[in-house]
Amino acid sequence: MNRRTAIALAVVAAVLLVFAASNIRQGPWIGSPVRAVTERGALSDAEKANVEIFEKVSPSVVQVVTQTAADPLSEEQEGGGSASGTGIVWDGEGHVVTNNHVVQNASQVAIRFASGEAVRAEIVGTAPNYDLAVLRIRSARKLPPAVAIGSSADLKVGQFAFAIGNPFGLDQSMSSGIISALKRRLPTSSGREISNVIQTDTAINPGNSGGPLLDSAGRLIGVTTAILSPSGSNAGIGFAIPIDIVNRIVPELIRDGRVPTPGIGIVTANEAVATRLGAEGLIIVRTAPGSPAERAGLRGVDRATGDIGDVITAADGKPVHRLSDLTDALEQVGVGKKVRLSVQRDGATRDVEVAITDIGRTQ
């Protein structure tokens, strides 16, 4: 092999080596080279606002975990059960607000903070008529600040709304949307209705119950309580108890452990019956013995003939079409005072003053 041939072979070998090395670097078994990170720039104003709301409020949103004692008479429930929801730190005294249905029938309650610390809590009071409950934390290393309180009286459909909670046990989850509607009515397990309920398309799922609904300033405007969904998961229709009701009920629960249930002692027919009979108002079916309604001379349906007795058409001058209209009026007047009812009987209308009593103490 002469010198020229050797040089040519060396050049060819070097080219092949370079080609092979290139294939090795780019081969599928090695992987693509790491790409440089592109700087994203500053967050938008909307993103900054969202982040600020979460960082400000989330430490004050807790997970509520309950344990239900086993029923000794039940063969199916041997070890009891557990459930979880969300709660809101209400004040510096360790009170936490949540839904009544989250802690209903609970034998033990625990609170888990965003920091991961878990503590025991006790039930201070419940208000089934409003699906609200107040807990008290027994001990904690350091309480998060209370959530700032807003108002639900001036809410507008279309304004932004945010929820923070523990959907499906996934703690510290935030969702956003808008206020979809106002003045909804929501039935409760006690058989009454909550009025002026907030409807939102903010994602609310099982586990969010008892958590905060916030406005764009990070203020508490409602307590999330229910969803309307065929599947049981978020369908864009969620409900929250307005803060103006919460702010009225919670102090009473802290002070007395319960809230009065204003009433006059009547049983009424539902709207469908009134519509079928052509009555424009609330039909009294019967009055409770010894009740303010009986003492005021109100009459129910005549059991012998089936004739309609009194139909309530207004309370303090405001029209009454359903039971919730009357209960709203009674709550505004208050226990211990009197309400003026407009009543139709035999085609004539008359006004009757009826005392309002706490019917919850007799149930």
| Six token digits for residue 319 | 């029209």
Q: What is the DSSP letter of 58?
A: G
Q: Is 358 part of the annotated catalytic residue set?
A: no
Q: 328 catalytic, yes or no?
A: no
CA distance 232 to 226: 10
State CA 260 to chain mean position distance: 21
Per-residue DSSP letters for 202-222? S---TT-TT-EEE-TTS-EEE
Based on the number of CB atoms within 10 Å of its own CB, is 114 exposed (0-12), middle (13-18) or buried (19 or more)? middle
Which ranges in the chain belong to alpha helices (H)?
3-26, 45-57, 100-103, 243-256, 271-277, 292-295, 323-333
Our answer to whether residue 321 is catalytic in this structure is no
Contact call for residues 288 and 265 (beta carbons, < 8 A): yes
**Amino acid of residue 32:** S
Active-site residue (options: 176, 209, 291, 342): 209
In 3D, which of 188, 183, 177 has the Cα closest to residue 153?
A: 183
- Active-site choice (84, 101, 173, 310): 101
Distance (Å, rounded) from C-alpha 293 to C-alpha 358?
A: 13
List 60, 95, 131, 244, catalytic entry: 131
Burial class (CB in 10 A: 0-12, 13-18, 19+), 8: exposed
Please give the single-letter amino acid code of residue 40. R
The residues annotated with a catalytic role in the active site are: 101, 131, 209
